Amino acid sequence: MSGQSSLESLTLQTLALSKEVLRGMRDLVFPRDCLVTGIGLDEDGHHYLSGEAVRNLYPIRSPHCQTCGFPFFGELIGTRECPHCIELDPDFEQGRSLLLARDTGRALIHELKYRGGAYVLSDIQRILADVPEFRTFLEGATLIPVPLHRKRQRKRGFNQSLLLAELFAREVNEASVANILCRTRNTSSQTRLKRRERHNNVKNAFALRRGAIIDSGIRYVLIDDVFTTGATLNACSKVLRSAGAGQIDVATLAHG
């Protein structure tokens, strides 16, 4: 990472942190309500989620698709084809998600991404504590956040994938963060695009940062907020693969 981008990243992280501190100060004056239901909070260890919101969280546990982490409901008989991975020709090996992007999971992402709600990381940390198999998946890995284009990052003030990677690295044994990818094209939002369009939209949109080194003996896990079609994670995997990476896996906060 160059000195200037390192400084820029530091400044952006500081800004995100300042919002968190301000939120904390406001909470001292006004009692908090659940960010999903708006009702008062229970004393169950969650900072911003009521018991009702927690009941509408869907942490993902086995059995699930090995490629994208989507849960298989009911009894698993033989191998089951995952609807999310049928057309995906993954350049990564395995994928996991912590939650389904439904109900409370969707609200957490929305708060984190679009409302600058870095404070929800404290509840994501709490959820992470309840899903040991997700933590085990990240153990010993070098976590690489999916980058935002610098213009979008400047507008948002932070990269949510970097914040998630840093949280995961703090909570998992022997994991570290390497912020070594950059976005070379400011691609349009994937939200309204169909599967094929998503792949074309992010094709060749990523590169290694100048001076970044890939070690073929390291296990890398790409980190993003949501897995939808896998297009973005696949495009990032291709960059790592062509730079000589050996094992590449992916992990996201939620599966959409």
> Residue 71: beta bridge partners?
64
Encoded tokens for 196: 């094929």
CB neighbour class for 210 (10 Å; exposed up to 12, middle 13-18, buried from 19): exposed
- Whether residue 101 contacts residue 110, with contact meaning beta carbons closer than 8 Å, is answered with no
The residue (of 119 and 134) whose beta carbon lies closer to Zn ion is 134
Shortest distance in whole angstroms from residue 224 CB to Zn ion? 15
Distance in Å, CB of 131 to Zn ion, minimum: 18
In this complex, which beta carbon is closest to Zn ion, that of residue 92 or of residue 158?
A: 92
Contact residue for Zn ion among 84, 96, 198, 255 (CB under 5 A): 84
**For Zn ion, which is the closer residue by CB, 97 or 153?**
97
Is the CB of residue 127 less than 8 Å from the CB of residue 99? yes
Q: Which residue, 142 or 252, is less far from Zn ion as judged by CB? A: 252
Q: Which residue has the tokens 């995961």?
A: 168
Question: Which of 1, 85, 131, 212 is in the footprint of Zn ion by CB under 5 A?
Answer: 85
CA 249 → CA 41, 73, 92, 131, distances in Å?
36, 23, 5, 18
Residue indicated by tokens 């976005």: 183
What's the half-sphere exposure (Cβ side, CA atoms, 13 Å) at 57? 25
Q: Which of 1, 17, 82, 131 binds Zn ion (CB under 5 A)?
A: 82
Should residue 195 be labelled a site residue for Zn ion when binding is judged by CB under 5 A? Answer: no
Tell me the per-residue interface mask from 45 to 74 with Zn ion, x by CB under 5 A, - otherwise: --------------------x-xx-x----
The residues of the shown chain that bind Zn ion, judged by CB under 5 A, are 65, 67-68, 70, 82, 84-85
